[in-house]
Amino acid sequence: MKKETQILTTFDLNKEQQERLRKVAEGVKLTVIPTSDPAAIPAERWAEAEVLYTWDVLPEPDQAPNLKWVQFGSAGVDPYLSSPLLQRKDLLFTSMSGAITSQIAEYVLMALLAFGHKLPELMRNQAEHRWPEQKTLWQDFLPVELRHSTVRILGYGSIGRQVARLLQPFGAEVLAAKRDVMNPEDQGYTPEGMGDPHGDFFTRLYPLEALHSLLAASDFVVVALPLTEETHHILNAEAFEAMKATAYLVNVGRGALVDEGALVAALKAGKLAGAALDVFEQEPLPEGSPLWDLENLILSPHISGLSHHLQEETLILFEENLNRYLAGLPLYNQVDLKKGY
C-alpha cells in the first residue's frame, strides 16, 4: 500500500488550489489551516505533517517528528535562521526564490527611471505650484539615460537576473556581482521567459570582494543580496565614499545591507545623488528616523514584492517542488544554513 504524504499549509488556499495539490499524486493528503499562530494548529496536525508549506509558522522540533521538508513562502529566510526547527539536520528547507521576482524587478526599474528622469524634483515642483526657470531647465532636469548608464547589480540571484533582463531593451551596461563567479548560470527556480538562467545579460561578473572598484564607476547601484554576516552593512561609509556623487542606490534586498547612518550622512553631504529604499534595518521605520526628511530619498514600506499574482506564482513553485520531492529529485532553492540563504 502506497504511503500517504501528509502536507500541512498555513496559507489560505482556495478550493481550486487545494485540488491541484491533492492531484499532484495519489496519496497526497492536504490539511489547510490559515493562521499566523503556531498555537492555532492542533498537536495531531503537527505530529502527522511530513511537508509544511508556510510563510513563517514553525513548530517546535519535537512537535513535528515526521516533518521532512519545509517550503517557505518567502525568498529570504534570514528571519527564521534562529528558529530551533532549523537546527534539525534531518530537514530540507526551501525558499521561494524565483517566484517573487518579476514585481520586485519592476520596482527597481521604476526607481531607476524615476531618478534618471528627475521625478522626485518634478513632484516637488508640482506640489509647490512652481514652474522652474527656463535658464535652469538643462541644469536641473537633464536626464540620466539608461542607454548611456552603467548599472551595477549586487547579488545576481533571481531578482538581480530579472532586473538585468528588463534592462536589456534600454541598452544599459550591466555589471553584476555574486559570491560564486565561477558558476554564472542560475541553479535555482526560474520561470520560463524570466531571469537570466544562462548568464547572458551582464557584461562582466565580479566577486563581491571587488565591491569598491565596482561602485567607483556606477551610475546606478541595485542591491539584491541576501543578508548574512558577510553582507551586513556591506554598503557603509567606505562604500559610499567609493561611489560617484552622481550615482543612485536602490535597495530591495534587506535593510541591514545598508548602514543607514552612513547613507544619511552621504546623502546630506552630496556624496550620493539619491537612494530608493524598500527595506530598512527597523520596520516599521521609526517616526524619528532622519530618512523620512531627505528630499533625495524614495521610501516605500517593504512593498516591492506585492502582487495580485503572488499566491498563484508561489503555488506553482511549490507544486513543482512537490513533484520533485515525491519523485526523489533535488528540490529547487534548497537553503544552505551555513550560507544563510
- Catalytic one among 161, 165, 179, 254? 254
For residue 320 the three cell numbers come to: 513543482
Q: Residue 281 and residue 290: Cα distance in Å, rounded?
A: 13
Has 283 been annotated as catalytic? yes
How far is 202 from 152, CA to CA, in rounded Å? 10
**Cα 33–chain centre separation:** 26
Q: What are φ and ψ of residue 276, in 5° steps?
A: -120, 125
| 62 DSSP assignment | G
Q: Check if 232 is active-site.
A: no
Q: Which three cell numbers stand for residue 254?
A: 534587506
The answer to whether 199 touches 184, Cβ cutoff 8 Å, is yes
CB 311 within 8 A of CB 114: no
**What SS3 class is residue 129?**
coil
CA quadruple 70, 234, 205, 102: dihedral sign: positive
146, 167 contact by CB (below 8 A): yes
- The set of cell numbers assigned to 251 is 535597495
Q: Is 214 helix (H, G, I), strand (E, B) or coil?
A: helix
Could you say which of 209, 230, 238, 283 is catalytic?
A: 283
Question: In 3-state terms, what secondary structure has residue 123?
Answer: helix
Return d(Cα 239, Cα 237) in angstroms, integer: 5
Q: Report the amino acid identity of residue 279.
A: V
- Alpha carbons 48 and 104: distance in angstroms, whole number: 36
267 Cβ contact partners less than 8 Å away, ≥ 6 residues apart: 274, 275, 294, 296, 297
Give the three cell numbers for residue 210. 571587488
Residue of 20, 22, 232, 302 marked active site: 302
SS3 314: helix
Active site members = 254, 283, 302
